[in-house]
Amino acid sequence: MDAVFADLGVSSHEFDEAERGFSFRFDAPLDMRMNREATLDAAKVVNEYDEEKLQMIFRMYGEVKNARKLVAQIVKARNEAPIKTTTRLKEIASSCAPRAIENKYLAQVFQALRIEVNEEMEALREFLATTLEILKPGGRLVILTYHSLEDRLCKNFMKSGNFEGKIEKDFYGNVQSPFKIINRKVIVAGEQELEANPRSRSAKLRIAERI
């Protein structure tokens, strides 16, 4: 292929459908499945995962700094009754949220669960690996990311061809990578675009060329 473009953003249409359970703005079943036929939903994660695994999910996928405290509150609540709705989870998480950034904190918590439920990072790794097979020499890989976890993965892959960002060099010290970075400095939204669409504030565009 000559080029592959990936927009990793989640559809706002799904977020705005209350019954899908993606947003803490609505009272809904704790679902969050992109594929409604999938067996794993957010309620199962919250109610059945052990403490260690829950802490890992919130730290890694949501970058929640007080994940231990949050998980302790979740476990305490689910021991009393299953956590079945977004509103109940919001109540629990809000008790752990710093006052000045409560909405941001809730967004991180819900993001972490969404990523786990839908195996988003595994899907991204599979997609990136596939681009090595389908892009011809000189072909462009263009990716629009929206949070630091996926952006870091894409950055590492474009830089080194692996997900850890481990640089390999030949005998002469030349970097061995299947890509050449086109924009050394990540492209972000300008003021005009931010005025038209505030959600673009977190968007980052990366471009690489297949060698």
State the total domains in the chain. Answer: 2
Q: Say if residue 129 is in the same domain as residue 108.
A: no
Convert the pLDDT of each residue in 144-175 to its tens digit: 999 999 999 999 999 999 999 999 988 888 88
Q: Say if residue 153 is in the same domain as residue 172.
A: yes
Q: Which helix (H) or strand (E) holds 194?
A: helix 191-196
Looking at residue 82, which CATH number applies to its domain? 1.10.150.170
Q: Say if residue 132 is in the same domain as residue 196.
A: yes
* Mean pLDDT confidence for 33-55: 97
- Tell me which of 118, 149, 164 is where a domain ends: 118
Q: Say if residue 69 is in the same domain as residue 166.
A: no
Spatial CA neighbour of 72 closest among 43, 95, 44, 99? 95
119: left (phi over 0), alpha (psi -120 to 50) or beta: left
- Tell me which of 63, 88, 118 is where a domain ends: 118
Task: For residues 75 and 112, give the distance between their C-alpha atoms in angstroms, rounded to a whole number.
Answer: 17
Q: Say if residue 89 is in the same domain as residue 105.
A: yes
Q: Say if residue 36 is in the same domain as residue 126.
A: no
Q: Which two tokens stand for residue 98?
A: 């710093």
Q: For residue 177, is it within any domain?
A: yes
Q: Say if residue 97 is in the same domain as residue 169.
A: no
- 133: CB partners within 8 A, 6+ apart: none
- Directed axis angle between helix 86-94 and helix 102-118, to 10°? 130
Convert the pLDDT of each residue in 115-134 to its tens digit: 999 999 999 999 999 999 99
Q: Which two tokens stand for residue 13?
A: 């249409």
CA dihedral 37, 38, 39, 41 (to 10 degrees): -110
Convert the pLDDT of each residue in 53-91 to its tens digit: 999 999 999 999 999 999 999 999 999 999 999 999 999
Q: Say if residue 111 is in the same domain as residue 148.
A: no
Q: Which amino acid is at 20?
A: R
Which pairs count as long-range contacts for 183-190, CB under 8 Å and 24+ apart, including other chains?
183/207, 186/151, 186/155
Q: For residue 21, is it within any domain?
A: yes
Q: For residue 156, is it within any domain?
A: yes
Q: Which helix (H) or strand (E) holds 87?
A: helix 86-94
Task: For residues 141 and 121, give the distance between their C-alpha atoms in angstroms, rounded to a whole number.
Answer: 18
Residue 200: give the domain boundaries: 121-210
Q: Say if residue 101 is in the same domain as residue 161.
A: no
Q: For residue 3, is it within any domain?
A: no
- Tell me which of 64, 96, 118 is where a domain ends: 118
Q: Say if residue 98 is in the same domain as residue 144.
A: no
pLDDT surpassing 80 at residue 14: no
Spatial CA neighbour of 10 closest among 166, 120, 132? 120
Q: Say if residue 97 is in the same domain as residue 35.
A: yes
- 61 with 121: CB under 8 angstroms? yes
Q: Say if residue 90 is in the same domain as residue 144.
A: no
Handedness of CA 114, 61, 45, 37 (dihedral sign): positive
